[in-house]
A and B are shown apart, each in its own frame.
Chain A
Amino acid sequence: MKYDIVIVGGGPAGLAAATSAKENGIDRILILERDHELGGILNQCIHNGFGLHTFKEELTGPEYAERFIEKIKALNIEYKLNTMVLDISKDKKVTALNKEDGLFEIEAGSIILAMGCRERSRGALNIPGYRPAGVYSAGTAQRFVNIEGYMPGKEVVILGSGDIGLIMARRMTLEGAKVKVVAELMPYSGGLKRNIVQCLDDFGIPLKLSHTVTKIHGKERVTGVTLAQVDENRKPIEGTEEYYSCDTLLLSVGLIPENELTNNLDVKMVPVTSGPEVNESLETSMEGVFACGNVLHVHDLVDYVTEEAVAAGKNAAKYIHGEYKKGTYIELVGCDGVRYTVPKYINPDNMEDVVTVRFRVGDVYKDSYVSVSFDEKEVIHRKKRVLAPGEMEDVKLKKEDILAQSDLKKITIRIKED
């Protein structure tokens, strides 16, 4: 089998990348999806709030996915479901496995990585106690409730205020469970402000910041958890322990890009994001291998995933058409509160008129400035009322500005407080 572009993952990133590549003149595209349907995790996100940027209307996750699935069908883009990619080789051979074809190999002209992310588990946090049934990641619980129609528990404590945790606090309540508390290790929430208001405040669910679970009780099924306040080093403070009886502990303690295949490829990785290092075209350090969506860095909004994936699809098409230029790279550096930037490098010869640079901050900042410097010269100084780790930020860089600065070597993005 030979394809111009093979896309690993049929979630929002993979679907948008595929349609974009097709619209940019590539015919031989194949999407490989491990689940039994396209759409990825959107299928279990039955709440609304998707699509405000992309479609200027509020959709549910499945509705948002449906728009792209329809497009994939209308554009006759090929896809294989229930298909697991086992390996990607350096010469762009993709090995996959499914029931119908068995083990098979595809030669790809270009590859777009769109595998998404997974949830951090209890083990990664080393939460002490027994190991009973009733400890679920928020996403697993979401699947049970929203897709299978089953309740994983009735009295719930949630650790972590990431968006999935917040959404699940509301969902479990709507489905008849009692959500007793959401505990967050950090002094600020990891989720979007709007989710805190709409999912917790509106339902009277308390959010305890600077708190963590110090013990899980129950030998067979969870019977309760102990919560404690933490100090500035995130260590539990003795004497602040509080027992909550519950049958379920949901964890929403972070997402990790699923880069197992990428790691085998030996591309350069960014430790902060756990995603690959990419340039302005969202190309990894391996020529012709692109990445977009949550496999690249974890997003808050699917709309931004779509935007990124459209760019990746278009650039992969350019690569196949041979319109890609070699050139010199300008490095992007995040510092003073900016934890990382995507992309990490810009080759002005390949960039569009405007490149969106996305980043996250490492702390909560109020009335601060996002500052961008071209070498030593500050070119953007933009006031932000609030910057928080839970909300992805971006700056848009214009090609004309970059070209105007001769011999530009480094673009620095930082947060200035004053």
Chain B
Amino acid sequence: MYDVMIIGAGVIGSSVARELSRFQLKTCVLEREVDVCEGTSKANSGIVHSGFDAKPNSLKAKLNVKGSKMMEQLSKDLDFPYRKNGSIVLCFHEEDMDKLEALCEQGKKNGVDGIRIVKGEEMKQLEPNISDEVVGLLYAPTGGIVCPFNLTIAMAENANVNGVEFKFDCEVEHIEKIEEGYKLKTSQGDYETKVIVNAAGVYGDVFNNMVSKRKLSITPRKGEYCLLDKKVGTFVNKTVFQLPTKLGKGVLITPTVHGNLLIGPNANDIDDKENVETTSEGITDIIEKAKLSSGKVPANQVITSFAGLRAHEAGDDFVIGEAVDAKGFFNAVGIESPGLSSAPAIGVMMAQLVEEYLLPPKKKHFIATRKGMVDLAHASKEEIAELVKKRPEYGTVVCRCEMVTEGEIIDAIQRPLGAKTMDGVKRRTRAGMGRCQAGFCTPKTMEILARELHLSPFDITKSGKDATLLVGYDKEDL
């Protein structure tokens, strides 16, 4: 019997797993996909919100501000890319300035440091490319950007190193209350556990509703994005939001922590929890809206577009805590924006709740830090020379756009919870994430994956299951 089973290996499940790995608990994360970070965590803005946006005293506000304050230290402890680039919110009409002021006040109430209104010339000093139509802006210097993949991977790896088990390709089909806790029927068999943590993203309501009469309802709220070439990665330096108006919430333009430019998202409520397809209307919409912030937005530099689903709960706030009528069943549900920013704080909060419930002793030898991936593209000449000496494969460039070497790909595969798929390699190393979008490196990366994992090339997939890349040998059907 497990002490804790966490459903979902996204950023929340991974954060909870890491925080729980501080205790002497038999913990296991169940993930239906073949890797961590496969749902909402992989397709979002990658923003660490400073925390002005949520209503004061809401869980969103408290956990956002707390999570955002934890992020910098966490990025050092777990060695993932994070940058405090600052955020601005643009106001385009004098009559909306009171709303901007109100947002500023809300930020102050939420405990956001350094937040202030900027007008006049200073606006363009802060962000030269913004539209001339901007009449005032809100500046939050503590806003940041993070790599959502590496944040999740880092926390999951660290949890794993500290003893948390991960079962992939393991879909939870049914949950049954038993005397000591719960029995989970999964695609890989039955498991018993004292505590369940529900971190299942857009499926959070489904699992809650299996055990609780207090029903939750998650609406997938789709957001589409365009990712732009690194050539235009410094088009803006700060994360540029738009003040919501009666026409909608607006879209953001932001540099990513890896140096690309990202625009999006729109917001459309849908029924299908699997629907992450992009639409031509959606892409057109976000590009048009981005042009309000800057008419010069280089929309012809798009290298890929994608969509993600926000897990919007009907109550419009995070639902975190034990279900009132299901002892030992803890929800982390409705984790939409600012969920990524809040993730570290949600992990801490959930671990406290579980600690109070199970009263476990702390581990004596918790490993609090983790060494991230080698990153040759940003290493100095001396460091590269050292690395190649240590492992010659660091001298063989596989992904030319992002400068990723064979050595780094081997590392990504061999690490704890290592990459098993092309997407897994991509998110850990960035191989295939550049402007050619894996045109050149696909065959070589597949070859390395097959070799390192002792698989046939036909078993290498883009993202697990049926996402196969090759279907047979030449001429076999003739």
Question: Which residue numbers of A lie inside 8 Å of B, CB to CB?
Answer: 34, 82, 84, 86, 95, 97-103, 118-119, 121-124, 126, 128-134, 136-137, 139-140, 143-145, 147-154, 175-177, 214-216, 219-221, 236, 247, 260, 263
Contact = CB atoms under 8 A, between A and B. Distances in A.
Secondary structure of the A side of the interface?
Answer: mixed
Nearest to B460: A133
Nearest to B440: A118
B396 A221 contact: no
Given A140-B439, A176-B475, A102 B385 contact: yes
Interface in B256-289: 274, 276-280, 282-283
A145 B403 CA distance: 26
Given A124-B303, A150-B457, A129 B471 contact: no
B381 to A, nearest CB: 6
B230 to A, nearest CB: 10
B442 A140 contact: yes
A123 B301 CA distance: 10
7 contacts: A102-B388, A103-B381, A118-B439, A124-B302, A124-B303, A129-B278, A148-B443
B247 interface: no
Contacts of A143: 443
A75 B438 CA distance: 36
Given A103-B385, A119-B439, A132-B467, A126 B283 contact: yes
Contact of A140 (B282, B435, B443): B443
A167 B280 CA distance: 30
A128 B279 contact: yes
Interface of B: 226-227, 231, 274, 276-280, 282-283, 302-306, 381, 384-385, 388-389, 392-393, 395-397, 400-401, 403, 405, 435-440, 442-443, 457-458, 461-463, 465-478
A247 B471 CA distance: 9
A153 B442 CA distance: 15
A118 B475 CA distance: 27
A261 B360 CA distance: 57
A144 B443 contact: yes
A149 to B, nearest CB: 5
A409 to B, nearest CB: 33
A259 B382 CA distance: 26
Contact of A133 (B306, B435, B439, B469): B469
Contact of A98 (B226, B231, B396, B457): B396
Given A82-B396, A100-B392, A118-B435, 15 more contacts: A97-B395, A97-B397, A99-B395, A102-B389, A119-B436, A122-B304, A124-B302, A130-B276, A130-B277, A132-B467, A137-B439, A151-B471, A152-B469, A154-B477, A220-B463
Contacts of B439: 118-119, 121, 137, 139-140
A100 B474 CA distance: 35
B280 A128 contact: yes
Contacts of A137: 439
Name the 7 nearest CB pairs between A and B, nearest first. A123-B304, A121-B437, A176-B477, A133-B462, A84-B397, A99-B395, A102-B388
